[in-house]
Protein backbone atom coordinates (compact mmCIF):
# COMPACT_ATOMS: atom_id res chain seq x y z
CA UNK A 1 0.00 0.00 0.00
CA UNK A 2 1.15 3.51 -0.73
CA UNK A 3 1.74 5.31 2.58
CA UNK A 4 1.30 9.04 2.25
CA UNK A 5 2.97 11.71 4.34
CA UNK A 6 -0.37 12.38 5.95
CA UNK A 7 -0.54 8.79 7.03
CA UNK A 8 2.92 9.04 8.57
CA UNK A 9 1.67 12.01 10.56
CA UNK A 10 -0.18 9.60 12.82
CA UNK A 11 2.74 7.23 13.42
CA UNK A 12 4.08 7.22 16.95
CA UNK A 13 7.20 5.32 18.10
CA UNK A 14 5.06 2.46 19.39
CA UNK A 15 3.07 1.20 16.43
CA UNK A 16 2.71 -2.39 17.56
CA UNK A 17 0.12 -3.07 20.18
CA UNK A 18 1.52 -5.40 22.87
CA UNK A 19 -0.72 -8.05 24.43
CA UNK A 20 -2.01 -6.73 27.74
CA UNK A 21 -3.70 -7.58 30.98
CA UNK A 22 -5.25 -4.89 33.08
CA UNK A 23 -6.49 -4.41 36.58
CA UNK A 24 -10.09 -3.70 37.28
CA UNK A 25 -12.23 -3.09 40.35
CA UNK A 26 -15.40 -4.99 41.08
CA UNK A 27 -18.29 -2.55 40.74
CA UNK A 28 -19.60 -3.36 44.21
CA UNK A 29 -16.30 -2.69 45.95
CA UNK A 30 -16.15 0.06 48.53
CA UNK A 31 -12.38 0.18 48.32
CA UNK A 32 -10.48 -0.41 45.13
CA UNK A 33 -7.51 -1.84 46.97
CA UNK A 34 -9.48 -4.43 48.87
CA UNK A 35 -10.97 -6.05 45.80
CA UNK A 36 -8.60 -5.52 42.93
CA UNK A 37 -8.96 -8.44 40.56
CA UNK A 38 -7.05 -9.49 37.51
CA UNK A 39 -9.37 -9.18 34.54
CA UNK A 40 -8.72 -10.92 31.29
CA UNK A 41 -7.66 -8.65 28.51
CA UNK A 42 -10.15 -8.35 25.67
CA UNK A 43 -7.67 -9.22 22.93
CA UNK A 44 -9.68 -12.16 21.57
CA UNK A 45 -12.85 -10.07 21.55
CA UNK A 46 -11.19 -7.15 19.82
CA UNK A 47 -9.68 -9.40 17.14
CA UNK A 48 -13.12 -10.90 16.46
CA UNK A 49 -14.76 -7.48 16.46
CA UNK A 50 -12.22 -6.09 13.98
CA UNK A 51 -12.70 -9.02 11.66
CA UNK A 52 -16.49 -8.85 11.81
CA UNK A 53 -16.62 -5.07 11.29
CA UNK A 54 -14.13 -5.25 8.40
CA UNK A 55 -16.11 -7.95 6.62
CA UNK A 56 -19.35 -6.03 7.22
CA UNK A 57 -17.66 -2.94 5.78
CA UNK A 58 -16.82 -4.87 2.61
CA UNK A 59 -20.43 -6.00 2.34
CA UNK A 60 -21.65 -2.41 2.69
CA UNK A 61 -19.07 -1.09 0.21
CA UNK A 62 -20.26 -3.58 -2.38
CA UNK A 63 -23.88 -2.46 -1.94
CA UNK A 64 -23.00 1.25 -1.91
CA UNK A 65 -20.93 0.88 -5.08
CA UNK A 66 -23.82 -0.80 -6.90
CA UNK A 67 -26.18 1.87 -5.59
CA UNK A 68 -24.03 4.74 -6.84
CA UNK A 69 -23.47 3.12 -10.24
CA UNK A 70 -27.12 2.40 -10.84
CA UNK A 71 -28.81 5.19 -12.76
CA UNK A 72 -32.27 3.69 -12.48
CA UNK A 73 -32.12 3.97 -8.69
CA UNK A 74 -34.81 6.26 -7.42
CA UNK A 75 -33.64 8.76 -4.82
CA UNK A 76 -36.30 7.57 -2.42
CA UNK A 77 -35.67 3.86 -2.80
CA UNK A 78 -34.30 2.67 0.53
CA UNK A 79 -33.82 -0.93 -0.61
CA UNK A 80 -30.01 -0.76 -0.88
CA UNK A 81 -29.54 0.55 2.64
CA UNK A 82 -32.07 -1.96 3.89
CA UNK A 83 -30.19 -4.84 2.32
CA UNK A 84 -26.83 -3.57 3.60
CA UNK A 85 -28.15 -2.80 7.11
CA UNK A 86 -29.65 -6.24 7.64
CA UNK A 87 -26.77 -7.96 5.86
CA UNK A 88 -24.20 -6.22 8.04
CA UNK A 89 -26.11 -7.08 11.22
CA UNK A 90 -26.58 -10.75 10.22
CA UNK A 91 -22.91 -11.07 9.30
CA UNK A 92 -21.54 -9.52 12.51
CA UNK A 93 -24.02 -11.41 14.67
CA UNK A 94 -23.19 -14.75 13.00
CA UNK A 95 -19.42 -14.18 13.25
CA UNK A 96 -19.50 -13.17 16.92
CA UNK A 97 -21.71 -16.14 17.86
CA UNK A 98 -19.40 -18.44 15.95
CA UNK A 99 -16.41 -17.04 17.86
CA UNK A 100 -18.11 -16.94 21.29
CA UNK A 101 -20.59 -19.80 21.22
CA UNK A 102 -21.41 -19.78 24.96
CA UNK A 103 -23.53 -17.08 26.46
CA UNK A 104 -24.12 -14.45 23.79
CA UNK A 105 -25.90 -11.13 24.07
CA UNK A 106 -26.19 -8.53 21.33
CA UNK A 107 -27.95 -5.15 21.46
CA UNK A 108 -28.35 -4.11 17.83
CA UNK A 109 -30.39 -1.60 15.90
CA UNK A 110 -32.30 -3.83 13.46
CA UNK A 111 -34.76 -6.70 13.85
CA UNK A 112 -36.36 -9.06 11.35
CA UNK A 113 -40.01 -8.03 11.84
CA UNK A 114 -40.38 -6.36 8.43
CA UNK A 115 -38.42 -9.12 6.73
CA UNK A 116 -40.91 -11.73 7.94
CA UNK A 117 -43.85 -9.92 6.32
CA UNK A 118 -45.50 -11.12 3.09
CA UNK A 119 -43.64 -9.92 0.04
CA UNK A 120 -40.24 -9.64 1.75
CA UNK A 121 -38.99 -13.04 0.57
CA UNK A 122 -37.04 -11.65 -2.39
CA UNK A 123 -35.20 -9.12 -0.25
CA UNK A 124 -34.40 -11.80 2.37
CA UNK A 125 -32.90 -13.92 -0.38
CA UNK A 126 -30.77 -10.97 -1.55
CA UNK A 127 -29.55 -10.40 1.99
CA UNK A 128 -28.78 -14.10 2.45
CA UNK A 129 -26.74 -14.24 -0.77
CA UNK A 130 -24.83 -11.13 0.26
CA UNK A 131 -24.05 -12.58 3.69
CA UNK A 132 -22.95 -15.94 2.28
CA UNK A 133 -20.75 -14.27 -0.36
CA UNK A 134 -19.15 -12.12 2.35
CA UNK A 135 -18.53 -15.01 4.75
CA UNK A 136 -16.74 -17.08 2.15
CA UNK A 137 -14.89 -14.22 0.45
CA UNK A 138 -11.49 -14.82 2.08
CA UNK A 139 -11.90 -18.54 2.79
CA UNK A 140 -12.35 -18.04 6.56
CA UNK A 141 -15.74 -19.71 6.61
CA UNK A 142 -17.13 -22.57 4.57
CA UNK A 143 -20.77 -22.26 5.51
CA UNK A 144 -23.96 -21.58 3.65
CA UNK A 145 -26.61 -19.88 5.74
CA UNK A 146 -30.27 -20.41 4.93
CA UNK A 147 -32.71 -17.49 4.88
CA UNK A 148 -33.98 -18.64 8.30
CA UNK A 149 -30.38 -18.69 9.67
CA UNK A 150 -29.99 -15.08 8.48
CA UNK A 151 -33.27 -13.97 10.09
CA UNK A 152 -32.24 -15.68 13.34
CA UNK A 153 -28.83 -14.02 13.28
CA UNK A 154 -30.52 -10.62 12.84
CA UNK A 155 -32.87 -11.35 15.75
CA UNK A 156 -30.01 -12.29 18.06
CA UNK A 157 -29.60 -8.53 18.39
CA UNK A 158 -32.71 -8.21 20.57
CA UNK A 159 -30.93 -8.04 23.91
CA UNK A 160 -31.69 -5.05 26.15
CA UNK A 161 -28.13 -4.70 27.50
CA UNK A 162 -27.81 -3.45 31.08
CA UNK A 163 -25.38 -3.41 33.96
CA UNK A 164 -24.85 -7.18 34.36
CA UNK A 165 -22.64 -9.44 32.26
CA UNK A 166 -21.34 -8.81 28.76
CA UNK A 167 -23.26 -7.37 25.83
CA UNK A 168 -22.12 -6.65 22.31
CA UNK A 169 -23.54 -3.40 20.93
CA UNK A 170 -23.92 -3.00 17.16
CA UNK A 171 -24.98 -0.34 14.71
CA UNK A 172 -24.71 -2.28 11.43
CA UNK A 173 -24.76 0.94 9.40
CA UNK A 174 -24.56 4.16 11.32
CA UNK A 175 -25.29 7.13 9.09
CA UNK A 176 -27.85 5.52 6.77
CA UNK A 177 -28.53 8.93 5.22
CA UNK A 178 -24.82 9.34 4.45
CA UNK A 179 -24.72 5.82 3.01
CA UNK A 180 -27.53 6.65 0.57
CA UNK A 181 -25.85 9.92 -0.45
CA UNK A 182 -22.53 8.15 -1.06
CA UNK A 183 -21.01 9.97 1.93
CA UNK A 184 -19.77 8.85 5.34
CA UNK A 185 -21.14 5.91 7.31
CA UNK A 186 -19.72 3.50 9.86
CA UNK A 187 -20.08 -0.03 11.14
CA UNK A 188 -19.92 0.49 14.90
CA UNK A 189 -19.34 -2.40 17.28
CA UNK A 190 -18.61 -2.24 21.01
CA UNK A 191 -18.57 -4.55 24.01
CA UNK A 192 -20.11 -3.69 27.37
CA UNK A 193 -18.81 -5.53 30.42
CA UNK A 194 -20.80 -4.88 33.61
CA UNK A 195 -22.22 -1.71 32.12
CA UNK A 196 -18.94 -0.19 30.94
CA UNK A 197 -17.74 0.06 27.35
CA UNK A 198 -14.56 -2.03 27.31
CA UNK A 199 -13.81 -2.13 23.60
CA UNK A 200 -14.94 -0.51 20.42
CA UNK A 201 -14.36 -0.86 16.71
CA UNK A 202 -15.40 1.65 14.06
CA UNK A 203 -15.11 0.71 10.40
CA UNK A 204 -15.44 3.84 8.25
CA UNK A 205 -15.28 2.75 4.60
CA UNK A 206 -15.41 6.28 3.13
CA UNK A 207 -13.26 8.14 5.64
CA UNK A 208 -10.00 9.41 4.11
CA UNK A 209 -6.83 7.99 5.67
CA UNK A 210 -5.49 11.51 5.64
CA UNK A 211 -6.60 14.36 7.86
CA UNK A 212 -10.00 15.75 6.90
CA UNK A 213 -11.23 19.30 7.02
CA UNK A 214 -14.24 20.98 5.50
CA UNK A 215 -12.20 21.78 2.41
CA UNK A 216 -10.79 18.36 1.57
CA UNK A 217 -13.40 15.85 2.71
CA UNK A 218 -14.52 15.06 -0.84
CA UNK A 219 -11.14 15.29 -2.54
CA UNK A 220 -10.90 12.56 -5.19
CA UNK A 221 -7.20 12.08 -4.39
CA UNK A 222 -7.88 10.87 -0.89
CA UNK A 223 -7.33 7.20 -0.11
CA UNK A 224 -10.30 6.09 1.96
CA UNK A 225 -11.26 3.32 4.40
CA UNK A 226 -10.28 3.46 8.09
CA UNK A 227 -10.65 1.02 10.94
CA UNK A 228 -10.40 2.46 14.46
CA UNK A 229 -10.21 0.24 17.53
CA UNK A 230 -9.76 0.77 21.23
CA UNK A 231 -9.67 -1.34 24.34
CA UNK A 232 -10.10 0.03 27.84
CA UNK A 233 -6.76 1.21 29.19
CA UNK A 234 -4.99 0.34 25.94
CA UNK A 235 -5.25 3.44 23.75
CA UNK A 236 -6.79 3.89 20.31
CA UNK A 237 -5.37 2.60 17.05
CA UNK A 238 -6.18 3.11 13.41
CA UNK A 239 -5.40 1.03 10.35
CA UNK A 240 -6.47 1.17 6.73
CA UNK A 241 -9.42 -1.15 6.14
CA UNK A 242 -7.39 -3.03 3.54
CA UNK A 243 -4.12 -3.39 5.45
CA UNK A 244 -2.81 -4.23 8.90
CA UNK A 245 -0.34 -1.35 9.31
CA UNK A 246 -1.52 0.01 12.62
CA UNK A 247 -0.85 3.44 14.13
CA UNK A 248 -1.67 4.79 17.58
CA UNK A 249 -3.80 7.93 17.48
CA UNK A 250 -4.39 10.84 19.86
CA UNK A 251 -6.98 13.57 20.03
CA UNK A 252 -5.99 17.12 19.13
CA UNK A 253 -3.90 18.97 21.73
CA UNK A 254 -5.34 22.35 20.72
CA UNK A 255 -5.87 24.57 23.76
CA UNK A 256 -6.97 27.76 22.06
CA UNK A 257 -10.60 27.40 20.89
CA UNK A 258 -9.95 29.90 18.10
CA UNK A 259 -7.75 27.24 16.47
CA UNK A 260 -10.19 24.39 17.07
CA UNK A 261 -12.33 22.94 14.34
CA UNK A 262 -15.77 21.64 15.12
CA UNK A 263 -17.59 18.55 13.86
CA UNK A 264 -21.34 18.03 13.76
CA UNK A 265 -24.00 15.96 11.97
CA UNK A 266 -24.58 16.61 8.32
CA UNK A 267 -28.30 16.32 9.01
CA UNK A 268 -29.78 19.37 10.74
CA UNK A 269 -32.61 17.12 11.94
CA UNK A 270 -30.09 15.17 14.06
CA UNK A 271 -28.37 18.09 15.75
CA UNK A 272 -29.26 21.78 16.09
CA UNK A 273 -26.86 23.63 13.81
CA UNK A 274 -28.01 27.05 15.05
CA UNK A 275 -27.12 26.09 18.62
CA UNK A 276 -23.69 24.75 17.70
CA UNK A 277 -22.94 27.91 15.72
CA UNK A 278 -23.83 29.99 18.80
CA UNK A 279 -21.48 27.82 20.89
CA UNK A 280 -18.72 28.15 18.27
CA UNK A 281 -19.20 31.90 18.23
CA UNK A 282 -18.88 32.13 22.02
CA UNK A 283 -15.70 30.04 21.90
CA UNK A 284 -14.26 32.13 19.08
CA UNK A 285 -13.91 29.14 16.73
CA UNK A 286 -12.85 30.55 13.36
CA UNK A 287 -13.13 27.60 10.98
CA UNK A 288 -16.52 26.65 9.51
CA UNK A 289 -18.05 23.48 11.01
CA UNK A 290 -17.17 20.14 9.40
CA UNK A 291 -20.47 18.34 8.78
CA UNK A 292 -20.24 14.61 8.31
CA UNK A 293 -22.49 11.65 8.96
CA UNK A 294 -22.14 8.85 11.46
CA UNK A 295 -19.64 7.90 14.14
CA UNK A 296 -16.90 8.61 11.60
CA UNK A 297 -16.92 11.93 13.51
CA UNK A 298 -15.64 10.16 16.64
CA UNK A 299 -12.98 8.39 14.55
CA UNK A 300 -11.83 11.62 12.92
CA UNK A 301 -11.73 13.35 16.31
CA UNK A 302 -9.71 10.52 17.87
CA UNK A 303 -6.87 11.25 15.44
CA UNK A 304 -7.08 15.00 15.90
CA UNK A 305 -8.76 16.02 12.63
CA UNK A 306 -10.95 18.35 14.65
CA UNK A 307 -11.06 19.22 18.34
CA UNK A 308 -14.78 19.43 19.14
CA UNK A 309 -17.88 17.35 18.32
CA UNK A 310 -21.28 18.72 19.24
CA UNK A 311 -24.45 16.65 19.08
CA UNK A 312 -27.47 18.61 20.21
CA UNK A 313 -30.64 16.78 19.16
CA UNK A 314 -34.03 18.42 19.05
CA UNK A 315 -36.18 18.15 22.16
CA UNK A 316 -37.59 14.73 22.94
CA UNK A 317 -35.06 12.66 21.01
CA UNK A 318 -33.60 9.71 22.96
CA UNK A 319 -30.09 8.63 22.04
CA UNK A 320 -29.43 4.91 21.62
CA UNK A 321 -26.29 3.18 22.92
CA UNK A 322 -25.35 1.76 19.50
CA UNK A 323 -25.04 5.30 18.12
CA UNK A 324 -22.27 6.14 20.61
CA UNK A 325 -20.69 3.15 22.41
CA UNK A 326 -17.90 2.41 19.90
CA UNK A 327 -17.23 6.08 19.16
CA UNK A 328 -17.13 6.89 22.87
CA UNK A 329 -14.29 4.48 23.66
CA UNK A 330 -12.40 5.30 20.46
CA UNK A 331 -12.29 8.97 21.55
CA UNK A 332 -11.75 8.48 25.29
CA UNK A 333 -8.88 6.02 24.79
CA UNK A 334 -7.29 8.58 22.47
CA UNK A 335 -7.33 11.10 25.33
CA UNK A 336 -10.66 12.80 24.68
CA UNK A 337 -13.60 13.48 26.98
CA UNK A 338 -17.23 12.65 26.17
CA UNK A 339 -20.05 14.00 28.36
CA UNK A 340 -23.63 15.13 28.09
CA UNK A 341 -24.34 18.85 27.76
CA UNK A 342 -24.33 19.22 31.56
CA UNK A 343 -20.88 17.63 31.88
CA UNK A 344 -22.11 14.25 33.18
CA UNK A 345 -20.36 11.09 31.98
CA UNK A 346 -22.35 8.86 29.61
CA UNK A 347 -23.95 5.84 31.27
CA UNK A 348 -24.19 2.80 28.98
CA UNK A 349 -25.55 0.50 31.68
CA UNK A 350 -29.23 1.45 31.52
CA UNK A 351 -30.35 -0.60 28.55
CA UNK A 352 -30.87 0.52 24.96
CA UNK A 353 -31.12 4.24 25.69
CA UNK A 354 -28.71 6.81 27.05
CA UNK A 355 -30.39 9.07 29.55
CA UNK A 356 -28.89 12.44 28.83
CA UNK A 357 -29.15 16.06 29.72
CA UNK A 358 -29.73 17.76 26.32
CA UNK A 359 -26.96 16.37 24.12
CA UNK A 360 -23.45 14.98 23.77
CA UNK A 361 -20.26 17.01 23.65
CA UNK A 362 -16.76 15.79 22.92
CA UNK A 363 -13.37 17.47 23.11
CA UNK A 364 -9.93 17.21 24.73
CA UNK A 365 -9.30 17.60 28.48
CA UNK A 366 -7.96 21.15 28.15
CA UNK A 367 -10.88 22.54 26.13
CA UNK A 368 -13.69 20.82 28.04
CA UNK A 369 -14.19 23.48 30.78
CA UNK A 370 -14.42 26.26 28.17
CA UNK A 371 -16.70 24.20 25.98
CA UNK A 372 -19.03 23.33 28.87
CA UNK A 373 -19.28 27.00 29.81
CA UNK A 374 -20.11 28.00 26.22
CA UNK A 375 -22.68 25.19 25.95
CA UNK A 376 -24.37 26.19 29.21
CA UNK A 377 -24.52 29.89 28.26
CA UNK A 378 -25.83 29.10 24.78
CA UNK A 379 -28.54 26.80 26.14
CA UNK A 380 -29.62 29.48 28.62
CA UNK A 381 -29.67 32.12 25.88
CA UNK A 382 -31.72 29.89 23.61
CA UNK A 383 -34.20 29.06 26.39
CA UNK A 384 -34.69 32.73 27.31
CA UNK A 385 -35.29 33.72 23.67
CA UNK A 386 -38.18 31.24 23.30
N1 LIG B 1 -34.17 13.22 15.07
C2 LIG B 1 -33.00 12.71 15.39
N3 LIG B 1 -32.19 13.34 16.26
C4 LIG B 1 -31.00 12.84 16.56
N5 LIG B 1 -30.50 11.69 16.05
C6 LIG B 1 -31.26 11.03 15.18
C7 LIG B 1 -32.53 11.50 14.79
N8 LIG B 1 -33.04 10.63 13.90
C9 LIG B 1 -32.12 9.65 13.76
N10 LIG B 1 -31.05 9.89 14.52
C11 LIG B 1 -29.85 9.08 14.70
O12 LIG B 1 -28.74 9.71 14.12
C13 LIG B 1 -27.90 8.69 13.63
C14 LIG B 1 -26.97 9.24 12.60
O15 LIG B 1 -26.20 10.23 13.18
P16 LIG B 1 -25.39 11.33 12.36
O17 LIG B 1 -26.27 12.50 12.21
O18 LIG B 1 -24.23 11.58 13.25
O19 LIG B 1 -25.04 10.70 11.07
C20 LIG B 1 -28.86 7.68 13.10
O21 LIG B 1 -28.25 6.42 13.08
P22 LIG B 1 -28.62 5.40 11.86
O23 LIG B 1 -28.17 6.03 10.61
O24 LIG B 1 -27.83 4.21 12.29
O25 LIG B 1 -30.08 5.16 11.93
C26 LIG B 1 -30.03 7.72 14.08
O27 LIG B 1 -29.94 6.77 15.10
MG1 LIG C 1 -26.88 4.88 14.09
MG1 LIG D 1 -27.92 2.25 11.85
MG1 LIG E 1 -31.47 3.81 11.88
pLDDT tens for 124-183 read 999 999 999 999 998 889 999 999 999 999 999 999 999 999 999 999 999 999 999 999
Average pLDDT over residues 18-25: 43
Average pLDDT over residues 193-200: 98
Atom number in ligand 1 closest to CA 176? 23
Query: What is the model's pLDDT at position 107?
Result: 98
- Find the 176 Cα to ligand 4 centroid distance in Å: 6
- Find the 42 Cα to ligand 3 centroid distance in Å: 25
Ligand 1 contact via 88 beta carbon (within 6 Å) = no
Ligand 1 contact via 294 beta carbon (within 6 Å) = yes
Query: What is the model's pLDDT at position 71?
Result: 58
Ligand 1 contact via 352 beta carbon (within 6 Å) = no
Ligand nearest to the CA of 326: 2
pLDDT band at 30 (very low <50, low <70, confident <90, very high): very low
In angstroms, rounded to a whole number, what is the distance separating the alpha carbons of residues 207 and 203? 9
* Residues designated as active site: 85, 176
Whether the pLDDT of residue 18 is over 70: the answer is no
Which CATH number does 257-385 carry? Answer: 3.40.190.80
Q: Quick: pLDDT tens for 363-374.
A: 999 999 999 999
Q: Which residues are annotated as a binding site for Mg(2+)?
A: 109, 171, 173-174, 323
> What are the residue ranges of CATH 3.30.540.10 in the chain?
22-249
Of the candidates 195, 40, 198, 192, the residue with the CA atom closest to the CA atom of residue 106: 192
Who's near 337: CB < 8 A, 6+ residues apart? Answer: 362, 363, 364, 365, 368
Q: Quick: pLDDT tens for 202-251.
A: 999 999 999 887 666 666 678 999 999 999 999 999 999 999 999 999 99
Count of CB atoms situated within 10 Å of the CB of 342: 14
Nearest CA owner, ligand 1 atom 9: 270
Q: Evaluate if pTM is beyond 0.80.
A: yes
Who's near 28: CB < 8 A, 6+ residues apart? Answer: none
CATH of 22-249, one of 3.40.50.2300, 3.40.50.300, 1.10.357.10, 3.30.540.10: 3.30.540.10
Query: What is the model's pLDDT at position 251?
Result: 98
Q: What is the ipTM of this complex?
A: 0.99
Ligand 1 contact via 175 beta carbon (within 6 Å) = yes
> What are the residue ranges of CATH 3.40.190.80 in the chain?
257-385
Amino acid sequence: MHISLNWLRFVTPSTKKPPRFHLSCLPSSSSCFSSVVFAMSYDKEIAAAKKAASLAARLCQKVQKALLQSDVQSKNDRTPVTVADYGSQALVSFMLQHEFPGEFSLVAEEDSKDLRKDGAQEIVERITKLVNDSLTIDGSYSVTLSTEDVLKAIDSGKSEGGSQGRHWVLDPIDGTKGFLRGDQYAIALALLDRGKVVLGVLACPNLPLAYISDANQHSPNNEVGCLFFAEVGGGTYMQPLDSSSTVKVQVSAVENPEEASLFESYEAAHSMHDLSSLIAQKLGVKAPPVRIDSQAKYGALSRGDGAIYLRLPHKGYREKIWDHAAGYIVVTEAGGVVTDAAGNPLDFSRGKYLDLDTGIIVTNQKLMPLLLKAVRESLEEKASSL
